[in-house]
Amino acid sequence: MRNLDAPRLCNGTRLQVNELGRHIVKATILTGEAKGDNVLIPRIPIIPNNLPFNFKRLQFPLKVAFSMTINKSQGQTLKVAGIHLGTPCFSHGQLYVACSRVSKAKICMFMLKEKSLNIVYRSILQ
């Protein structure tokens, strides 16, 4: 949400939260050039400017992420991955990309059926 210490702490940096305090979050950086560094993230004032009235609140400049899209995971290496295949992958090769992100094959898949379709739009390929 906010670039605190570029390039270490900027938009898109993934963190592992180690400790939650009332006014500070202790975390370890998981991606980028500062991988492995421990950081302290304070609450900062957020002042929205798109409202007809003014107010200020203190909040942590973080977004909690429990999932990401297959496209967002491309180029990353994960220790564990869960793949939700409630609906089939919509493009050729996406299932391969999703499965190839995990280094030691710790993959959990959720499927409604025993098989997942690999959808190919042949009209696009012609």
Q: What's the CA gap between 26 and 37, in Å, rounded?
A: 11
Is residue 49 domain-shared with residue 80, that is, in the same domain? no
Structural domain containing residue 77: 70-125
Residue 25 scores a pLDDT above 80: yes
Q: Where are the alpha helices (DSSP H) in the chain?
A: 70-73, 94-99, 122-125
Q: What's the CA gap between 29 and 11, in Å, rounded?
A: 12
Does residue 29 fall inside a structural domain?
A: yes
Does residue 64 fall inside a structural domain?
A: no
Is residue 86 domain-shared with residue 50, that is, in the same domain? no
Does residue 65 fall inside a structural domain?
A: no
Q: What is the dihedral sign for C-alpha 96, 100, 104, 106?
A: negative
pLDDT interval class at 26 (50, 70, 90): very high
Q: Answer whether 116's CB lies under 8 Å from 89's CB.
A: yes
| pLDDT given at position 41 | 86
Q: Which of 59, 84, 111 is the last residue of a domain?
A: 59
Whole-model pTM: value is 0.47
Give the residue from 25, 26, 29 showing the smallest Cα distance to 37: 29
| pLDDT given at position 93 | 74
